[in-house]
Structure 1
């Protein structure tokens, strides 16, 4: 069982433009779709599509229209009844796959809301292999909120392993005080976390591996760093690996990182070696990028083509 927690879910509206985005002008959309989004929800959708068990924990007002869209996904959820409708995020994608996102901040949450959410996560993850803490935090919750969740979960017997996919101050707090088993930033989020600028004269995978190696294993158990079209890098206490994606016609990058994490955890939960976990993560991320909107790729959506994985020598990382 893989449990996910989305503190700040969103109704994702994806608008496909017929031409490249022209700021300040009126343009015609080719299509639009709405999906129940939020990073943890996306991870659960992908895991369920692969036939594995996953449960999504999230706040949900009983009168929120988001609930109807969520129910249509048939994702099993633990809905914590707190007031306020989920935010709506807007994604504009042109024919070349170039994506522009507008993310709203979300409903302000009280300390009581936060306590109710933590209680629900602790109860839901009691028998899980992994707990995924994913996405931004809504206004009102402290930057250390995910640390509070981790401490509460680890105070219980047989606590799951914990993966974190967030950014900014929330990620800094988790890495400084939470000791997660896995983090999944992209290259820009990793550089911001470490307070560095990646050297443009060094291959991206090698530069990322060096930065991640400064965190693993002293601060985090492992780092799975997605690089968009350049694939991904995995750094553990035992080594570092780079994977390259198959040829992909990008239609929307929304949710691709979430799908990568889901693919990684699916492989890890089946006992796969690190290189295979990396490969499966890249396959699922590429599949998501080839689909419109925030769709959850299933095994049938995985793209043909090899995903080469190589070990990064220690002198490079």
Structure 2
């Protein structure tokens, strides 16, 4: 399908694409994809439930982890409808309103994940470098303000991009190359000057892909400087082990994010399959892996899960 009429009686719409070259196997591909979505929803819901029901986890670090789980859950539920209806029922058409809404939430939750990881790095810095003042610095009120600031930051970052895209006309071909609405994918279909959009997108990429990781690196540099100057080797290993979950979560987010950005900007002529695989890894890896990382590495989360399961078993008897 090279050309798709851009209007009908219902209005403008877009056409989604599944896995290029594997359209006949979509029903089989849906099995592992559905499993990944299930793992993400169950894992993040479990993390949220355990933190909510376990009083010992009502600490700043776990409140930030709750924000991360909520963000991952939002990211999962944003792409789930269009991906699964395409793989299961071959429903490819999506209205422009639904596509722009998915665009907003998809990029908003993605940027929110980066912001939450940045906030978690600050939490680790305060906990390790200012342990005596940790509780007085990161109060519930302060954490609430940080959460509100993260939401405002992401909304204000994505809204201009949304408005800049909505004002532009689209070509007759409304065929997207993914099973969800990405900015990088939608901007290709515009029949007008997109320099302003490109510059804003580039500035946003610098803000998220460069500034946030840079600040995280600075926070860990200060942590290393602090523990190398005062702690014993055993204490250093303990501190690094406590930070390992966060470091892994950072890598799980930023490695695919950088990969997708580089692919769209510098490998435009690569196989469509490469773009689809990179985008799916970018959107599915953090929500799937973060609950696993924190469940495996964090003993307090493990104890909370055991306590939650034991209470559940007691109530069921």
- TM-score, shorter chain, exceeding 0.5: no
Q: TM-score, normalised by structure 2?
A: 0.26
Larger RCO (alpha carbons 8 Å, 6+ apart): 2
Q: TM-score, normalised by structure 1?
A: 0.26
* More strand per residue: 1
Structure having the higher Rg: 2
* More helix per residue: 2
